[in-house]
Structure 1
Amino acid sequence: MSDGRRGVVFRGCRRLSGKPIAAPATGPGRDRTALVPFGEPAPPSRRPWSATPRRGDAFLYTTVNHLVEPSSGPSITAITSAPDALSMPPPSPFPSEYSETERQIFDAALHVFAREGRHGARMQAIADAADINKAMLHYYFQDKGTLYEEVFTYTVERFMASFGASLREASTFEHTLRAFIDGYVEFVRSDEAAMRLMVQENLAGGRLLGTHLREATNAGDAPPQILVETIAAAVDAGEIRDVDPQHTVLSVVSTCLFFFMARPTVQIMHPDAEDDWGAFVEARKEHLFDLIYHGLAPRPEGGSGSRAAPRE
């Protein structure tokens, strides 16, 4: 459909109610039409295909709550707005402020990247998983590299926010260790695709993961770094025996992750895990805390309470 002015074309859909609506092309013969969900603003960093409109060009960008194309009568004409009148909100780095469509894309992309890896994933597969067309996916994210980095950032931010605050609020080493184990295990259990994405990133070299961890560590927000500092303080205070904080945290993280990564093997070795995985995970958290906490307890006088001497 067209309003006959300046060649603005609007590709409409029948019986549109709460479903995507096409954004216009800004010239005749323009085939790349992205779909924009009702009620959502354009992504601030990703303008429609005609990203640099000339003076006098027009865009369709409006919120439509209900639109039904009648079977007879006049056709629906394009609604136009001067480019200068468009108001775009600033981009936000916080996961809670991503649009509904972006979160939908992130969820689909997370599972595809987790399964196929960064290089094996295909944009068409991500669009199919998100139940959108490929044009709309490219409307939001120009290329796979950009999408991967944003999905990874989104995942890391959720991880950092999931239990970092509870670690800072813990008053003792015992409470901090329990909060770390509970928080880490619950994050992985709630989204195992996020854990697989981390594994894929490590297998690919871990460049992006390293960048985020260094930034979070420098800012004091990384849960592993919080635990490292807590262990060092507990060693200095004599609460636990003299251990290397970095190695200890690596051991804690490994025990929290392994039974998820090797779930089929775990279920063979531990039949109860196959019968009731949820109950097994709860029991596993308690076992890990008991093993690590009491394993770090100071040795009795005359025992081997200090760090083992390095091998010759």
Structure 2
Amino acid sequence: MNMDADALLATGRRVLRIEAEALAGFADSLGSEFARAVETILGAQGRVIVSGMGKSGHVGRKIAATFASTGTPAQFVHPAEASHGDLGMLTRQDVALVLSNSGETPELRDIVAHTRRFSIPLIGVASRPGSALLTAADVALLLPDAPEACSVGLAPTTSTTLTMALGDALAVALMERRDFTMEHFRTFHPGGKLGAMLVKVRDLMHTGAALPLVARDASMPDVLLEMSAKGFGVAGVLDAEGRLAGIVTDGDLRRHMQGLLERSAGEVATPSPRAIGPDALASEAVARMNEGKPVTVLFVLPEGEGPRAPLGLLHIHDCLRAGVA
């Protein structure tokens, strides 16, 4: 590594340490106003309206997005646009979360005044305890006095990291108070990798007439026809009560090639096949398929012990198409 690379690496490490130390200090100093902020948001009938100017505005957009995706309705309103009509987005049912490192940002005056005029709860976030924003706020969240990480001590670095982390802390506290579950999370994240990770087996499984099912005493020619017609490369074998007693796979056909067509489904089938419940995550199903000797199909059975009637069938290709595997 050359000298320039060494210097750059040292700078990167210094910045990370400065910000990490500031975050650790913030965690230690967080007080009762944080709890008041959470309770204030929980008590609102409307949304959290987040606002901030410049870098605080960029952070505010992220905080609003995090709130909205974790069960707390939220929207970012630009303070300059608010002064030209967008104040109408902030109603008596809402809570305002206003961000400003200095607490003296002039563009925030109209939105702060609007909250005071209409008795809208105001949560202020700033680093100066006597600032105009924190003085006006119903709940004042004070950022710690920590140095910016840049070489001139002016560019928003540590301060924006602290504000972002505070937004995350509020979002998580709200999630826990709302008993926000994985199912709720999936509702707000149907697309992309997150959505794929949270897809359930019941969302992907084949059901009804699509299932390749035969009776235990079915002849193997009938089993082969059913396997070919349904196209999954398997057939589920049912007992007299319609419960899954076994499965016939391509491997079973090869193992019983001698006199295959004279046998019954029950004689060829592998008993107690791997299965999964309908409410399991599809990612769990993929893991089950890959246990030991991999398989490509799982029958979906209701929860419980012993033989049960199949509800559906899941193929590895269904998971691949959904982006799960």
Q: Fold conserved (TM > 0.5)?
A: no
More helix by share: 1
* Structure having the higher Rg: 2
Q: When the two structures are superposed, what TM-score results if normalisation uses the length of structure 2?
A: 0.22
Which structure dedicates a bigger proportion of its chain to strand?
2
TM norm structure 1: 0.23
